[in-house]
Structure 1
């Protein structure tokens, strides 16, 4: 418990502004502290008469395993998780807890079996089938992770990291199932050691191996000679804007949902004043306006190229963090919603194709 608490504090202290994965991992480790505290209390209460596959611990295990998939989802697709999606992820767990309470109210008795043999002797009963289903659900999140879409080209990991994380989750799940099916103290002791080792491995990967990448683009060189002109000079602003366009278009920097004006300043080897002046001279009120225009233009290009597509995923792909922000910027840019815009495009194309035929007639 102390190790998990220290891990939680370390990860939280090392989280980066605008990057939620370490905060989520810190919360996971803190949940593990509470989980182990609950197990210690439970085992102490049942030490005189140990039981296997207790329903309460199975439900708790399903909850913990479900929580463990939020961190890799955030790693794979930063910003994809929002409040609504988190609630959806917990809906199955909530349904299982509700089902358990309903069965208790209906008079179902969950026998405290003292061995696996006793449990298997009642294999056809609802209480045993329910426990087996809960046990199998431990492995569902590991499978689910492979169906999380890589919604951005800008991502912070690869399939090698994903495989490692899935293996750790599976090891934890197997270990938990073994420990609740055994009455041997040595088995429980080994389980705690394995569980701690897995969590240390994940934390090590997060802090020292899984580096949070920036767009792979060579930094533009600093100009060898600075023009002796006023900041507001149109020629200098035009030159700076050309360098900005070159950098942003080559790196596709807008796909990074955490992109800041500081990143652009660093990448261009310039300062905030020159950059702001260049944007304003070219019709952009702010850095945010410029980047969001890039995102909307790329969104339109992708949808037109595909013919049709998932608007929400494409919004995430071009760097927006939320649907509301994306729709607001799209309306500001086009004056229409995406549906209205692409319907109008179809009408314009149809009109352009039929007009020559009408003129010939």
Structure 2
């Protein structure tokens, strides 16, 4: 049973690794996708190495050697990754908001804490053995116990603060979707498992933490492969019902360059070329690719590809209204789409109906 369990985990590890590599290659100017790909590759490599090692030495269920409670190494590993992952809701809801300075500001508490923890282990290294919660208070005067308690509290509070900030920030440009709720739910699940994992010595919790981490990574890697931004919807792509109207008020003010981009695309329709990219657009407007990307993100788009696909969808709608006799496939290629699955998914999300149904409705109107 142990070998079967490890084989399943190893398969998921390899899926995470491969999907992460694909995301890195496809990311372009979509930085959340790039960073998620890097995380997926890192987790896939780490877990693969560990499970391959177990498979070479076990014949049944592996034996685990657990250290004492409030293990500094364990907490620092969690603290580093948890804060990075907690930034994804902000990056998703506010494209372009997280520049290097803001990322550094959000990550400053864990950077300082991790540095202190590493320095203590490297230059002092005295660790008081604690094997139950009842032993924490009697040993609280020990320097290492105080440090470990502080690291534990910060490693819980800081990711929570970042998540709450994303939910209450007035700088959000996009609308939260169900995938975002699932993502946040996973983070709270991780937080609960981490607390149990840090305050107890339990083989079940150890295994639960590992399998949850890899399932979480694989699930959202697949979603990132399917969508430019799986955690939120661009406001203009949401049906403007009365319920959704308050979201429109949050639409950001675009950078001046965005008006030039919009005017050029509406006039020239260069995106009908399936290979059209941000380099072509920058060359046409005599602008830098980075400036083009930031202008697009200032209007709430995750990146160039999402923006171009949105224009292609609108162009399809225009063509379908005037050429309802043409098939969906014909119109789809005329608009620059190369993937049928991507086209159908994006069109349904934007207009609330399938492309076929939209064309049928146009034929009835005529």
What is the deviation of 1:134? 1.9
Q: Note the residue ranges of structure 1 that are not aligned, 5 or more in a row.
A: 219-251, 273-284, 290-313, 322-361
Q: Calculate the TM-score normalised by the size of structure 2.
A: 0.52
The higher radius of gyration belongs to 1
Where do 1:260-279 residues align within 5 Å? Answer: 267=266, 270-271=269-270
Q: Point out which structure has higher relative CO (alpha carbons under 8 A, 6+ apart).
A: 2
Whether 2:155 is the aligned partner of 1:144: answer no
2:116 pairs with one of 99, 105, 113: 99
Matches of 1:105 and 1:253, distance apart in 2:
47
Whether 2:221 is the aligned partner of 1:203: answer yes
Give SS of 2:70's match: coil
Hey, what does 1:27 align to over in structure 2?
38
> Measured at CA, do residues 214 and 55 of structure 1 come closer, stay the same or move farther in structure 2, by a change above 3 Å?
closer
What is the deviation of 1:5? 4.7
What is the deviation of 1:181? 3.3
Give SS of 1:18's match: coil
> Measured at CA, do residues 185 and 270 of structure 1 come closer, stay the same or move farther in structure 2, by a change above 3 Å?
closer
Give SS of 2:211's match: helix
2:133 pairs with one of 90, 95, 116: 116
Checking the alignment, whether the CA contact within 8 Å between 1:51 and 1:114 is kept in structure 2 is: yes
> Measured at CA, do residues 215 and 259 of structure 1 come closer, stay the same or move farther in structure 2, by a change above 3 Å?
farther
Matches of 2:138 and 2:37, distance apart in 1:
42
Q: Calculate the TM-score normalised by the size of structure 1.
A: 0.53
Q: Give the total of aligned pairs.
A: 254
Whether 2:216 is the aligned partner of 1:216: answer no
Where do 1:47-86 residues align within 5 Å? Answer: 47=64, 50-86=67-103
Give SS of 1:127's match: helix
Matches of 2:91 and 2:97, distance apart in 1:
7
What is the deviation of 1:114? 3.0
Q: Note the residue ranges of structure 2 that are not aligned, 5 or more in a row.
A: 1-9, 58-62, 239-250, 272-282, 288-294, 303-366
Hey, what does 1:186 align to over in structure 2?
204
Hey, what does 1:13 align to over in structure 2?
22
